[in-house]
Amino acid sequence: MKRRELMRSVATLAVGVVAIPLSNLVEARVGRPATPGSVAGVRRRTRRRTRRRVYRNMTLYSLPYGCTTTRVRGGVSYYYCGGIWYQPSYQGTTVVYVVNEIEPGADTNVEFEEYS
């Protein structure tokens, strides 16, 4: 019986020794960028990025993540991102983006932002 109590107290002590240093790492402080209660933490939980392979004449409902560069070619406005040209057009009342041209060597595995 004493052996069992001794083993139980040693196990409790071992768990306590490991848990005390970890408690400082898990502490969440509002306002710190990497904590769950901060704005960045909320954004990290509500937004995720997904990768899709794009191809010519593909219709997209949003531009890839970070794509804001506009260029004019032949009087038509395009979005140009990483060697891929996206032409905005309408599908009913919704703006969609059609992959117009993919330059040779462009990475067609593109990252999109999705909100949950």
User: What is the rounded CA–CA span in Å between residue 63 and residue 71?
Assistant: 14
Backbone angles phi and psi of 58, in degrees to 5: -75, 140
Residue 67 burial (CB count, 10 A): 18
From CA 100, how far away is CA 31, in angstroms rounded?
Answer: 43
Shortest CA distance to 102 belongs to which of 53, 50, 49, 51?
53
- Dmax (CA) for the chain in angstroms is 89
CA gap 59, 90 in Å, rounded: 11
Given a cut of 90, whether residue 97 has pLDDT beyond it is yes
Cα 97 to Cα 14: distance, rounded to the nearest angstrom: 58
pLDDT at 51: 78
CA 79/CA 22 separation, integer angstroms: 47
Taking only the tens place, the pLDDT of each residue in 12-65 is 655 555 555 555 555 555 555 555 555 555 555 555 667 788 999 999 988 888
* pTM reported for the whole predicted model: 0.56
Domain extents for the chain? 2-115
Q: Which residue has the tokens 């990290």?
A: 44
